[in-house]
Amino acid sequence: MADVSANVTIDSIMGRNGLEKWIDACVQLTKPAKIRWCTGSKEESNEFISEMLASGELVQLNPETYPNCYLHRSNPNDVARTEKVTFICTPTRDGAGPTNNWMSPENAAENVLPLFKNAMNGRTMYIIPYLMGAPDSPFAIAGVEITDSLYVVENMRIMTRIGNTALEHIRRTGKFSPGLHSLGDVNPDKRFIMHFPEDRAVWSIGSGYGGNALLGKKCLALRIGSNIGRNDGWMAEHMLILGMEDPQGNITYMAAAFPSACGKTNLAMLIPPEIQKNYKIWTVGDDIAWMRIGEDGRLWATNPEAGFFGVAPGTSYDTNPNAMDTSHSNSIFTNVALTQKNEPWWEGMTPTPPDGLIDWQNRPWNPENGPAAHPNSRFTAPTSQCPNLSPHYNDPKGVPISAIIFGGRRAHVAPLVYQSLSWNHGVYVGASVGSETTAAAEGKVGMVRRDPMAMLPFCGYNMADYFGHWVEMGKNIPNPPKIFHVNWFRKSADGKFLWPGFGENIRVLRWIAERANGRGEAVATPIGYMPANGALDLTGLQISDEAMAELTSIHKDEWLAETEDTGVFLNQFGDRLPAEIRAEFAAQKQRLS
């Protein structure tokens, strides 16, 4: 390795020589002024928050209406995940595959590691042991994040189980994911999010933003986690988990993958409209699912997180009352606007903006400067505060999944709901997911891109092998979930959403549950099974027959073009693409022509 520091070896900085040696190496490299182990205690949190209030890193929100809630404003150059500078560092380029940025571990050591040199000069290094998953769960995986950002510490405290529980787990198992994070000088040109699957290691520099800096989430639970899952025969997925209880008290559990900022949190926390009130949704998770084959031959899912990092804009007491209630205390708001009453506000929270707003950049709000809250502004809130939290949220073995749902944001093409013809066809459906880009990642918003299983930015290895892992899992699950695709975002010719969405989505979930449980009427189409006439309960819904017809229509020309586009995407994997996926692609094309 280049002359990073005489005492820092690759083995030690990768954590190969254990926790103590890794921490020593990080200290040698970053040269912090102080070192602070995080225990997870309430006192520690109070102290850190006081410190951030004093420095201006946090603003206290109205303690009467939002007790223990704070506003954080990011550097305006650092408000979303940066996919362009996110790398998978496998020994060969093929290991990362054509959809990931790749850098060799040697190149990373040579060119990225030096950015950490003296990066914590004059700053405090916080050492955060954390656990993803319930402490007594066979799913649980421990990590240690080293960071120089107190904002990261307080977000990790909400999003994961930090402190001594995690440390005990590490001492017991001898395993941890070493994650080194520094804000550096928050310079987009020196920003890198590096993953080393062989060592479970992550280096992140130059960003304090959510998915870039809270290393338990996308970095460990998905990119590193997907590698661990492939090797150990389970799945790490970008999925919400919910349970739908029917009037007889039966609960059907479902896992759903949508890209970032496409409504996973809203669906996970859904409250049915009055007329469907004898159905109830239980939230298990809103972003990540780890799924294993249970002894009973079903697929069981757990949510490894302890908090929600939800998109604020559009969240309201109309669209998602559970999220509003969850984040009304003990929460951190990032890049939202501030009202005169010292309360958070964002577009869509109320029909009209209150007077005298301060925008997310701390300026009196002027609509000419854009929205008051950043489109990717967020709330970080404890899962435990969710009013409809499933009693099985902490269950070490998770919940049994009967339906897997894929979806995206599509103004055209994709109908409201369809079911795959088989597991492998379902894997093809997942692999072909297209979605319009959102503000959750940097880049242009609203462009349709292929985002297989909503994992394009999060799959930590060659996506062809990931499809292969799905096919393999299908062979090994005696009683696999049924696979579906939904689209809440279809628009009419005049650009209006055709489906009301939100609570009304219960109607679609009901059909999915019926199908998953071997009931529910369907008709076969070239792309899969669709609800038969009358199979969706539309009682009391104000929707025209024309809108329903468009929502459930399949335009052949559009679908042929869609399939061609999927083919172009899949072709980039060459011979590595599993034969099963190639066969499903060919069969779908055949059915359409």
Q: Which residues bind ligand SAT (CB under 6 A)?
A: 81, 210-211, 217-218, 260, 309, 440
CB of 407 to ligand SAT, least distance (A): 14
Q: How far apart are CA 496 and CA 448, in angstroms?
A: 18
Of residues 286 and 504, the one with the C-beta less far from Mn ion: 286
The separation between CA 296 and the C-alpha centre of its own chain, rounded to angstroms, equals 28
Among Mn ion, ligand SAT, none, residue 163 binds (CB under 5-8 Å by kind)? none
Rounded to an integer, what distance in angstroms lies between the CA atom of residue 203 and that of residue 108? 10
Burial (CB < 10 A; 0-12, 13-18, 19+), residue 43, is exposed
The dihedrals phi and psi of 18, each to the nearest 5 degrees, come to: 95, 170
CA distances from 289 to 214, 276, 455 (A): 17, 27, 12
Least separation, in Å, of the C-beta of 214 and ligand SAT?
A: 6
Q: Minimal distance in Å, beta carbon 265 to ligand SAT?
A: 10
* Among ligand SAT, Mn ion, none, residue 73 binds (CB under 5-8 Å by kind): none
Q: For residues 263 and 353, which CB has a smaller minimum distance to ligand SAT in the complex?
A: 263
371 binds, among ligand SAT, Mn ion, none (CB under 5 to 8 A by kind): none
C-alpha torsion 565→569→574→578, nearest 10: -90
Q: How far apart are CA 523 and CA 531, in angstroms?
A: 6
- Give me the sign of the Cα torsion angle 451, 454, 458, 462: negative
Residue among 433 and 536 whose Cβ is closer to ligand SAT: 433
CB of residue 159 vs ligand SAT: minimum separation in angstroms?
A: 9
For the chain, how big is the Rg over CA atoms in Å?
A: 23
CA–centroid distance for 32 within its chain: 31
SS (H, E, C) 166-195: HHHHHHHHCCCEEEEEECCCCCHHHCEEEE
What is the phi-psi region of residue 110: left when phi exceeds 0, alpha when psi lies from -120 to 50, beta otherwise? alpha
- Asked if residues 186 and 151 have their Cβ atoms less than 8 Å apart, the reply is no
Q: Is 459 a catalytic residue?
A: no
Q: Minimum Å distance from CB 566 to ligand SAT?
A: 23
Residues in the interface with Mn ion (CB under 5 A) total: 2
Strands (E), 394-496: 399-407, 417-419, 434-436, 448-450, 482-486
Select which of 26, 69, 262, 459 is catalytic.
262
210 binds, among Mn ion, ligand SAT, none (CB under 5 to 8 A by kind): ligand SAT
Task: Give whichever of 302 and 334 is closer to ligand SAT, judged by the CB atom.
Answer: 334
- Per partner kind, with CB cut-offs from 5 to 8 A, the member of ligand SAT, Mn ion, none near residue 420 is none
CB-wise, 303 or 419, nearer to ligand SAT? 303
Pick one of Mn ion, ligand SAT, none as the site partner of residue 392 (Cβ within 5 to 8 A by kind). Answer: none
Compose the 260-299 pattern: x for residues touching Mn ion by CB under 5 A, - for all others. x--------------------------x------------
Binding mask 546-575 for Mn ion (x = CB under 5 A): ------------------------------
Q: How far is the CB of 260 from Mn ion (least distance, A)?
A: 4
| Contacting range for Mn ion; rule: CB under 5 A; set: 152-160, 252-260, 352-360, 441-449 | 252-260
Beta-carbon-side half-sphere exposure of residue 541 (alpha carbons within 13 Å): 23
| Interaction partner, residue 206 (Mn ion, ligand SAT, none; CB < 5-8 Å by kind) | none
In this complex, which beta carbon is closest to Mn ion, that of residue 260 or of residue 424? 260
Min. distance of Cβ 440 from ligand SAT in angstroms? 4
92: helix, strand or coil: coil
Residues that bind Mn ion (CB under 5 A): 260, 287
| Catalytic annotation, residues | 262
